[in-house]
Amino acid sequence: MTTKPEMNAADIAKAVAGGKMSALDVTEATLARIKQHDGVLNSFTDVTADRARAKARAVDVQIAAGKTVGPLAGVPFAVKNLFDVAGLPTRAGSKINRDLVPSKRDATLIERMEAAGAVLVGALNMGEYAYDFTGENVHDGPSRNPHDTTRMTGGSSGGSGSAVGGALVPIALGSDTNGSIRVPSSFCGIFGLKPTYGRLSRARSFPFVASLDHLGPFARSVTDLALAYDAMQGPDADDAACTTRGLEPTLPLLANPTSDLRIAIAGGYFQKNLFPEAVEAVSRVAKALGATKVVDVPEAVRARAAAYVISTTEGASLHLDRLRKRPNDFDPAVRDRLIAGAMVPAPLVDRAQKFRRWYRAQFAEIFKSVDVLIAPATPCTAPKLGQVNFNLDGVELPVRANIGIHTQPISFIGLPVVAVPVPIEPLPIGVQIIAAPWREDIALRVAHALEKMGVVAAPSPKGF
C-alpha cells in the first residue's frame, strides 16, 4: 500500500496499525511532499525531519513488537509556530522571539498527539504574534492559499490552513483568539475546530490574549478533526484556564442522527456584510439541515467591539516591554496597533469584560430553545495577497480589520465552533456550526452529517 497525497488521518492510522504501511514510509512521503510543494505554499517555517523519522521508527517498532498503538499511529501533523517544540525557539511569527532559547519541552497538545501515535513533522507560518487575519508575515513571507497561490490563506494560523488545504499534512494545530482557526479554514477549504474556551490546554504555547485564546485542530475530514480533538482533551494544571472536566470523546457520537437537534440560522448582524458566496454557503448548509428558523443574536456589534478592545489591550500588556526595547523589530502594522492598545483607558477594558458576562447570558437563553446556530465564517472567499480594501454592503472597508467580523462575536464568549468548508467554485468558503458551551460533540455531529450529505468537503488543492 502506498501513501496518497490526500489520504486522511483515520486511513493512515488504520493502515499503519494493521501493518499495511509503515509509519516511516508515511513520514518519508510527507517530507517529500513538503519538499516538493512548500517552496510555493510557504506554510512551514521549520521541518523537523530527524525528529519525525525517529518518532515514526518508534511507532513501527511498537507495532512489530505486537504492542497496542494509539488512534493516530503514524499520522503526520504540524503545528503553528507559537506551540513550543523541544529544540526550537517559539517564534510566534515574530523576529524578536527567534532570540529565545530553544524550548526544552513540547506544548501539552503536541505531547498528547504524539502519545496517540502521531508524528510531528514541523512548525508552521503564522501572522506576527497572532495579531492577524490575513496569513501574511513580513519576516517569513505570506503563507499561500493552496487553491490560488496569489490569494491569502487567512490568519493568523495561515500556515496551518495552507498545509492542510494543500494536503501536505492531514492534521495541523493552530490557535484562535478572534477567528484564527475559522478564518484560514474558510479561505483554505478545510475543517477547523475551535473548542469551548478552556477545553484544550494552552500550556507551553505563546499567548496573545489570555481571556480569549483557544487552541484547536484543522483537518480534511470531520472524523480526523474528532480523532485529533479527542486525543488532546483532558485537564492540565499547566494552563490556568483549562477545564477540570474529564474526557468527553466525540468520535463514538459522530454518526448519531441529527434529526433531534434544533438548528437555527443566526440572524441580524450575521446576515449582513456578506459577499454572495458567503450567503450561498450559509443557504446550502441551512437547506441541507432543514433549518428555517432565524434567531437574532442581540448586541453582536458590541460583542465584536468588546472583543476588539480586550484583544488590543491584553495584547499590548503582553508585549509592553518588547514595544519599549525592540519596537523596530516588530511588523510596523502590529507595533502601531499594540502601542495604541496600551493607551486605552483601563475602565473601558473593564467595561468590555463586564459586557462579556452580559452577552454570555444572552446566549444561555438562546441555547434553551436551540442546539445549533449556523453563521458565516468569513464575509468573502480568500482575498488577493496584499489586498487592502473590499466593498461590503456598499461600503469600502479595510480587509485586515473586517475579515473576522463574523467570528469575533462567537469566540468572545468561548462557544465551540466547527468551521465547515463549502466547496463553491472557484474558491471554497466556510460556515460556522456553533453549539452551546462544552457541546463540541453536537457541532461535530452536525458537521459530519453535512459531510455525509456531500454539502461540505475539503476540495483538492489545485493552485500549485
What is the pairing mode between strands 171-176 and 214-219? antiparallel
Question: Is 294 or 333 the residue whose CB approaches other proteins more closely?
Answer: 333
Q: Which of 355, 351, 350, 347 is nearest to 412 (CA)?
A: 355
201 in active site = no
Cβ atoms of residues 5 and 220 within 8 Å: no
Cβ atoms of residues 252 and 445 within 8 Å: no
Q: According to CB under 8 A, which residues from 191 to 220 bind other proteins?
A: 198, 210-211
Mention every residue, 6+ apart, whose C-beta is less than 8 A from residue 171: 9, 72, 75, 76, 77, 113, 118, 164, 217, 218, 219, 224, 227, 228
Question: Is 345 or 454 the residue whose CB approaches other proteins more closely?
Answer: 345
The Cα–Cα gap between 173 and 204 comes to 14
Q: Is 451 exposed, middle or buried (0-12, 13-18, 19+ CB in 10 A)?
A: buried
Does residue 156 have a cis bond before it (omega within 30 degrees)? Answer: yes
Least distance from other proteins to the Cβ atom of residue 214, Å: 14
22 in active site = no
Does position 392 interact with other proteins (CB under 8 A)? The reply is no
Single out the residue of 1, 358, 386, 389 in contact with other proteins (rule: CB under 8 A). 358
- For residue 174, the SS3 value is strand
Least distance from other proteins to the Cβ atom of residue 355, Å: 5
Least distance from other proteins to the Cβ atom of residue 334, Å: 10
Among residues 22, 156, 162, 311, the one annotated as catalytic is: 156
Q: According to CB under 8 A, which residues from 215 to 274 bind other proteins?
A: 241
Question: Is 125 or 243 the residue whose CB approaches other proteins more closely?
Answer: 243
Helix (H) or strand (E) holding 215: strand 214-219
Cα-based distances in Å from 54 to 33, 93, 120, 157, 261: 19, 27, 10, 27, 45
Does position 332 interact with other proteins (CB under 8 A)? The reply is yes
80 in active site = yes
Does position 315 interact with other proteins (CB under 8 A)? The reply is no
Question: Is 65 or 343 the residue whose CB approaches other proteins more closely?
Answer: 343
Single out the residue of 1, 32, 115, 340 in contact with other proteins (rule: CB under 8 A). 340
Q: According to CB under 8 A, which residues from 284 to 313 bind other proteins?
A: 299, 301-302, 304-306, 308-309, 312
Q: Which of 348, 342, 345 is nearest to 315 (CA)?
A: 342
Question: Is 37 or 335 the residue whose CB approaches other proteins more closely?
Answer: 335
Question: Is 26 or 306 the residue whose CB approaches other proteins more closely?
Answer: 306
Q: Which of 223, 280, 270 is nearest to 422 (CA)?
A: 280
Does position 343 interact with other proteins (CB under 8 A)? The reply is yes
Among residues 43, 80, 157, 311, the one annotated as catalytic is: 80
Mention every residue, 6+ apart, whose C-beta is less than 8 A from residue 36: none
Among residues 180, 185, 205, 221, the one annotated as catalytic is: 180
Give the footprint of other proteins on this chain (CB under 8 A). Answer: 198, 210-211, 241, 299, 301-302, 304-306, 308-309, 312, 320, 323-324, 327, 332-333, 335-337, 339-345, 348-358, 360, 401, 413
Residues serving a catalytic function are: 80, 156, 180
